[in-house]
Amino acid sequence: MRRVDYMATIKIKQIKSRIGAPVDQKRTLLSLGLHRISQVVEVEDTPSIRGMIRKVHHLVTIVE
């Protein structure tokens, strides 16, 4: 019998520009898949993703 695990997901929206942000924060946004303001991406809800969101919390918001 095959077991299927489904991960919870989070929708993240970039609300501010990355211009002027430190290089590590710019790379974090790219790692999250965010390239433009108002872009929304859906990612898995894992501790590492939560850490990335915490690092750039002033540039993104979680969308319901």
Fold of the 9-63 domain: Ribosomal Protein L30; Chain: A, (3.30.1390)
User: For 25-62, what is each residue's pLDDT tens digit?
Assistant: 999 999 999 999 999 999 999 999 999 999 999 999 99
**pTM (predicted TM-score):** 0.86
Q: Which two three-digit tokens encode residue 14?
A: 């970039």
Report the pLDDT value the prediction gives residue 1, as an integer from 0 to 100.
64
User: pLDDT confidence of 6, banded at 50, 70, 90?
Assistant: confident
More confident residue, 5 or 25: 25
Residue 16: DSSP 8-state: S
Average pLDDT of the segment spanning 4-17: 90
Report the pLDDT value the prediction gives residue 55, as an integer from 0 to 100.
98
Delimit the domains of the chain by residue range. 9-63
63: left (phi over 0), alpha (psi -120 to 50) or beta: beta
Indicate the residue type of 2: R
